[in-house]
Structure 1
Amino acid sequence: MRIAPLVVGVLFATPAALITALPASAATPAALPASAAHAAAAGPCKPRDRVNLRGKDFTHGATLPETLRCADLTKAKLDEAELGQKDLTGAILRDASLKEADLTQAHLEYADLRGADLSHADLGQLRAKQADLRGAILIDAEAGQAEFPHADLTEAVMTRVVLTQADLTDADLKSADLRGAGLGQIEGRTADFTGAKLADAKFSQAHLEYAVLRNADLEEAEFTQASLQGADFTGASVEAASFTQADDVNLTGARGSADDVPDDAITPAGDGNPITDVFSGAASDGGTSLAVSLVIVSAVGLGGTLLIWGVTHRRRQRNAAGYAAARRAAEEDVTRLGEEIDALDFDMKINQVTGPSAEWRAALDAYEAAKQTLLIAQTPQGLPEVASAVQHGRQALRAVRSWLSDVRGLG
């Protein structure tokens, strides 16, 4: 939800000292847990499950094994390999060569792809939840609608990668190179782009709520119609970056001069004193003493108005900060519920069991209800309903877990 800044319709500009942004701690949610490396270590594979294919050469039409799940493909050569829809869950592909490989709709959840070369690869609709891609190379890769939630892409080289409609929720992209990348319509809530190279990147209609863009290079990047509630641009270079029709823009702490910044955006305070400038202008024009008197009277009246506005503005800011904190906590609860559902669903799939349909449906319905309630909640009074929906969802999940525990006990 957007908390629109107050606009004072007066001839004199409002002094910058009266306008203060919410502190970063009130706008940025607590970091969600579990790096991809830790998640991969706790993934679905056991040592006995791993097929040793280290260093194997599968180029020039070599036949791939039928089963690649949990396989150890460290430094394997898979250039131009046909891996579409393959199950590579938990596989180790460290320093593997996958240039121009076809990985459309492949499963790489919890996979280890550190240092892997995926240049020019087709990654459309790839599923790489909690995968470890630190230092991986994805230059010119096509990854439309790919799923990288909670994945670790730290220092990945991704210049000109196409990630249209990809899911980067809570992904770690610190110091990644995404220059010229296509990031239109991505789901990037709470993604961490700290120190990333994003010059000329395209974020049109991207969802970047509470994303971290600290110290990122965003020169000439485009954020047309992007959703930026709570996004942190502290220290980021936004020189010539475009924010046409972007929502909830807050460039506090950013460096450089951005283009097409919306009128309701929060921007760094400018230099100079607008009221002093008015007096200077009147004096330089040689205005009469009557005109000067009128200006003084107007300034006094304006000063009183601004004083009252300042008190009201600060009170609204305190209320907004309290609401932001409560909303942030509610958002984190909903996110955790979604993660719990994902984890349980994954657990059932890898163990090839199906939970009780009524309880499972109740958990999914509660999660959807929580998301929708949070979406429309505009005041603190609307947030308890979110908490209630989350509680119902967790109760239903406990029932499913209890049933699965009983089934395993019988087995």
Structure 2
Amino acid sequence: MRRFAPLSVAALFLSLASLSLAFLTLAFLALPATAVHAASAPCKPGSGVKLRGKDLTGAALPPVMRCADLSGAKLDGVDLTGKDLTGAVLRKASLKEADLGQARLDYADLRGADLSEADLGQMQAKQANLRGAVLTDADAVQAEFPHSDLTGAVLTRAVLTQANLTDAKLVDADLKDATLGQIKGRTADFTRAKLGEAKLGQAHLEHAVLRDADLSEAEFTQAELDGADFHGADVDKASFTQADDVDLTGARGTPENLPDDAVAPGAAGDEPAEDATPTWGRDVPGNAVRSKGPSPALVLVIVSGLGLSLTLILWGVAHRRRERFVAEMAVARHAAEEDVTRFGEEIDALDFEMKINQVSGPTHEWRAALDAYEAAKQALNVAQTPYDLQAAATAIGRGRHALHVVRSRLSATDGHR
């Protein structure tokens, strides 16, 4: 019986493996280019599959739904978990009790859509338009709404724990009895929003705008409120237990559980004592017994005590200056970081717009904007003082000027078409 040499068996195995790899490569290359790139290429909102006004509650959904036109469509209770609906148009669509967990709706148009009792857990909706949308009793834990427009949206009793509402617009939104614990709401605009009885424990609301908002009986336990604007807001019976940087200047009502360092509505400075004249400066009656001059030992003790007190005062002043510098630097750095982030998002938005319209901007200015973004990030990394952060602001100014030139030239190009 003939035996195969070990070398021959190994060679045969390697040959079969190579043929299999070649076959799989050819099969992949044979796929249409649209199938390979469909998931990654940007598209114009509403330019995808046309399902306007369709009842999809029992229908099979198409595999690709990016930029789909679903205006007025019925999707009640439909499972859209993890679906990519980037740029989709869902105006006045009905999505009651739909499952949109981990779905992508960046740049989507959801104006007037009904998402009552929908599951929006970890949904991504960056720069989405939800003006007038209804999210009553929706579960939106860890949902992402940065830079989105929720003007006039109804979020009564909605659960938005740990949701990202950074720089979101919630003007006139209804958030009564909503759960907003640990939300990221820096620079968010809640002007005239209804937040009565809302739970905002540990919420990050640095530099948020809450002007004329209804905050009666709302809960701000351990919330971060540095720079938040409460002018005209109703804070009657609102609780601020252990909240940081509470400044209710211009607010109305009587809040509860204010921290010792908080600025209450209508707070006035401390009144001077009725009689602040020291006893040693008062007239001494003529029949009073005058004491003898202090002894040298007493003078030495007093001088030593004064020296120690002066040393402690100087140390306290220096310590407060250091703390104030650290606090000012933290605020300045935070503001600079947000400005750099916004500039990066402006670049992303213009890049997305150019790709979906299949146009390209002037190379020199576009490169200048990208270089300015990198320079701003580098300036942030090395900044040690608020003055050092001016380099980042200068770079962003140059970059925004370059972006303006790009937009102007693109507009001029569109006008000649």
Change in CA separation of 1:185 and 1:392 when aligned onto 2, cut-off 3 Å? farther
Q: Does residue 339 of structure 1 match 2:345?
A: yes
> Which residues in structure 2 correspond to 1:6-155 (within 5 Å)?
44-45=43-44, 49-59=47-57, 61-155=58-152
Identify the residue that residue 306 of structure 2 maps to in structure 1: none
Give the aligned residue type for 1:222.
Answer: E
Change in CA separation of 1:205 and 1:342 when aligned onto 2, cut-off 3 Å? farther
Change in CA separation of 1:154 and 1:372 when aligned onto 2, cut-off 3 Å? farther
> CA offsets, 1:258-310, max 9 Å, x none?
122222223334469723xx43xx7xxxxxxxxx8648969xxxxxxxxxxxx
Change in CA separation of 1:115 and 1:392 when aligned onto 2, cut-off 3 Å? closer
User: Shift of residue 387 of structure 1?
Assistant: 4.7
Give the aligned residue type for 1:58.
Answer: L
Change in CA separation of 1:203 and 1:325 when aligned onto 2, cut-off 3 Å? closer
On the 8 A contact 2:45/2:88 being kept in 1, the answer is no
Change in CA separation of 1:366 and 1:140 when aligned onto 2, cut-off 3 Å? farther
CA distance in 2, matches of 1:246, 1:383: 29
- Bigger relative contact order (CA 8 A; separation at least 6): 1
3-state secondary structure, aligned to 1:150: coil
3-state secondary structure, aligned to 2:343: helix
Please say which of residues 264-273 and 215-224 is displaced more in the overlay.
264-273
Identify the residue that residue 230 of structure 1 maps to in structure 2: 227
CA distance in 1, matches of 2:262, 2:244: 8
On the 8 A contact 1:370/1:390 being kept in 2, the answer is no
Give the aligned residue type for 2:82.
Answer: Q
> Which residues in structure 2 correspond to 1:8-407 (within 5 Å)?
44-45=43-44, 49-59=47-57, 61-270=58-267, 274-275=271-272, 278-279=273-274, 294=278, 330-331=336-337, 333-340=339-346, 342-343=348-349, 379=386, 381-384=387-390, 386-387=392-393
CA distance in 2, matches of 1:342, 1:269: 44
User: Shift of residue 337 of structure 1?
Assistant: 3.2
Identify the residue that residue 32 of structure 2 maps to in structure 1: none
User: Shift of residue 167 of structure 1?
Assistant: 1.1
CA distance in 1, matches of 2:381, 2:158: 32
3-state secondary structure, aligned to 2:389: helix
Give the aligned residue type for 2:49.
Answer: V
User: Shift of residue 213 of structure 1?
Assistant: 0.3
User: Shift of residue 127 of structure 1?
Assistant: 1.0
User: Shift of residue 142 of structure 1?
Assistant: 0.9
Give the aligned residue type for 1:45.
Answer: K
3-state secondary structure, aligned to 1:274: coil
User: Shift of residue 170 of structure 1?
Assistant: 1.0
User: Shift of residue 246 of structure 1?
Assistant: 1.8
On the 8 A contact 1:90/1:108 being kept in 2, the answer is yes
Q: Which runs of 5 or more structure 2 residues have no equivalent in the other structure?
A: 1-41, 283-316, 358-369, 404-417
On the 8 A contact 1:370/1:387 being kept in 2, the answer is no
On the 8 A contact 2:45/2:89 being kept in 1, the answer is no
Change in CA separation of 1:259 and 1:68 when aligned onto 2, cut-off 3 Å? same
User: Shift of residue 392 of structure 1?
Assistant: 12
Identify the residue that residue 30 of structure 2 maps to in structure 1: none
> CA offsets, 1:291-347, max 9 Å, x none?
x8648969xxxxxxxxxxxxx9xxx9xx99x98997687355323333146447867
Give the aligned residue type for 1:57.
Answer: D
On the 8 A contact 2:45/2:108 being kept in 1, the answer is no
On the 8 A contact 2:145/2:165 being kept in 1, the answer is yes
Query: How high is the TM-score relative to the length of structure 1?
Result: 0.65
User: Shift of residue 250 of structure 1?
Assistant: 1.2
User: Shift of residue 160 of structure 1?
Assistant: 1.2
CA distance in 1, matches of 2:244, 2:379: 23
CA distance in 1, matches of 2:375, 2:257: 40
Please say which of residues 188-197 and 86-95 is displaced more in the overlay.
86-95
CA distance in 1, matches of 2:379, 2:262: 29
Change in CA separation of 1:294 and 1:89 when aligned onto 2, cut-off 3 Å? same
Change in CA separation of 1:385 and 1:142 when aligned onto 2, cut-off 3 Å? same
Identify the residue that residue 30 of structure 1 maps to in structure 2: none
Change in CA separation of 1:368 and 1:293 when aligned onto 2, cut-off 3 Å? closer
CA distance in 1, matches of 2:125, 2:149: 10
Query: How high is the TM-score relative to the length of structure 2?
Result: 0.64
On the 8 A contact 1:373/1:385 being kept in 2, the answer is no
CA distance in 1, matches of 2:61, 2:209: 40
User: Shift of residue 386 of structure 1?
Assistant: 4.5
CA distance in 2, matches of 1:125, 1:345: 25
CA distance in 1, matches of 2:256, 2:234: 12
What RMSD in Å do the two structures reach over aligned CA positions? 4.2
CA distance in 2, matches of 1:65, 1:228: 45
> CA offsets, 1:388-408, max 9 Å, x none?
8869999xx9xxxxxxxxxxx
On the 8 A contact 2:377/2:392 being kept in 1, the answer is no
3-state secondary structure, aligned to 2:111: coil
Q: How many residues align?
A: 316
CA distance in 2, matches of 1:179, 1:238: 14
On the 8 A contact 2:379/2:389 being kept in 1, the answer is no
Give the aligned residue type for 2:206.
Answer: E
Change in CA separation of 1:338 and 1:183 when aligned onto 2, cut-off 3 Å? farther
CA distance in 2, matches of 1:110, 1:248: 34
Change in CA separation of 1:293 and 1:90 when aligned onto 2, cut-off 3 Å? closer
User: Shift of residue 68 of structure 1?
Assistant: 1.6
